[in-house]
Amino acid sequence: MKSNFYQQFTHHEEHFDALIIGSGIGGLSVASLLAQAGKKVLVLERHYIIGGYTHVFQRKTYEWDVGLHYVGEVHIEGTSLNKAFRYLSKGKLQWAPLDNTYDRIVFQDKEYEFVRGRANLRAKLKEYFPENKDQKSIDEYFKLLDEVKHVGVGYYVEKVIPLFFAKLFGPLLRKRVLKYSNKFTLDVLNTITDNQELIGVLTAQYGDYGLPPSKSSLYMHALLANHYMEGAGYPVGGSANIAQTIVPVIEEHGGAVLFNAEVQSIIVENNIAKGVQMFDGKKIFADVVISDAGAINTFLKLLPEESIEKHGFREKLKKLEPSAAHMGLYMGIKEPASKLKMPRCNYWIFPDEYDHEKNQALYKNFQSDLPVIFVSFPSAKDLAWEKKHPNLSTAEAIIIVPYDWFSKWENTTWKNRGVEYENLKKQIAEQMLEKVYSVQPKLRGKIDYFEVSSPLSTKKFTGYQHGEIYGVAHTPERFRQDFLKPYTPVKNLFLTGQDAMIASIAGGLMGGVLCASAILKKDMLRHITKTIR
3-state secondary structure 149-181: HCCCHHHHHHHHCCHHHHHHHHHHHHHHHHHHH
Residue 49 clears pLDDT 80, i.e. is over it: yes
Instruction: Tell me what pLDDT residue 365 has.
Output: 64
Q: Give the whole-angstrom CA distance, residue 129 versus residue 138.
A: 9
Residue 8 clears pLDDT 90, i.e. is over it: no
Instruction: Tell me what pLDDT residue 112 has.
Output: 98
Find out whether 202 and 105 touch, Cβ atoms under 8 Å: no
Work out the burial of residue 196: count CB atoms within 10 Å of its CB; fewer than 13 is exposed, 13-18 middle, 19 or more buried: middle
For residue 209, the 8-state DSSP code is T
Residue 462 clears pLDDT 90, i.e. is over it: no
Other CB atoms closer than 10 Å to residue 275's CB: what's the count? 21
Q: What are the tens digits of pLDDT across the range 298-333?
A: 999 999 999 999 999 999 999 999 999 999 999 999
Rama region for 280: left / alpha / beta (φ>0; ψ in -120 to 50; rest): alpha
May I ask the CATH architecture of the domain 324-462? Alpha-Beta Complex (3.90)
- The candidate with the shortest Cα–Cα distance to 224, out of 96, 71, 345, 117, is 71
Find out whether 496 and 31 touch, Cβ atoms under 8 Å: no
Find out whether 452 and 233 touch, Cβ atoms under 8 Å: no
∠ CA(490), CA(492), CA(495), 5° rounding?
Answer: 75
For residue 300, the 8-state DSSP code is I
Cα–Cα separations (whole angstroms), residue 78 to 73, 94, 332, 505, 533: 9, 14, 36, 18, 8
Q: What are the tens digits of pLDDT across the range 236-253?
A: 999 999 999 999 999 999
* 4-95+236-321+473-531 fold: FAD/NAD(P)-binding domain (3.50.50)
Find out whether 474 and 503 touch, Cβ atoms under 8 Å: yes
Instruction: Tell me what pLDDT residue 1 has.
Output: 60
- The candidate with the shortest Cα–Cα distance to 28, out of 484, 459, 465, 513, is 513
Instruction: Tell me what pLDDT residue 366 has.
Output: 63
H/E run at residue 451: strand 447-453
Q: What are the tens digits of pLDDT across the range 373-422?
A: 999 999 999 999 999 999 999 999 999 998 999 999 999 998 899 999 99
For the residues 191-218, what does the mean pLDDT come to? Answer: 97
Q: Where are any strands of DSSP class E within 317-392?
A: 325-333, 346-350, 373-376
Instruction: Tell me what pLDDT residue 367 has.
Output: 66
Question: Residue 347 forms beta bridges with which residues?
Answer: 104, 375
For the residues 508-527, what does the mean pLDDT come to? Answer: 97
Domain map (residue ranges) of the chain: 4-95+236-321+473-531, 120-229, 324-462
Average pLDDT, the chain: 95
Find out whether 445 and 331 touch, Cβ atoms under 8 Å: no
Residue 446 clears pLDDT 90, i.e. is over it: yes
Find out whether 208 and 504 touch, Cβ atoms under 8 Å: yes
Residue 281 clears pLDDT 80, i.e. is over it: yes
For the residues 120-129, what does the mean pLDDT come to? Answer: 98
Instruction: Tell me what pLDDT residue 466 has.
Output: 87
For the residues 215-225, what does the mean pLDDT come to? Answer: 98
pTM metric for this prediction: 0.96
Instruction: Tell me what pLDDT residue 94 has.
Output: 97
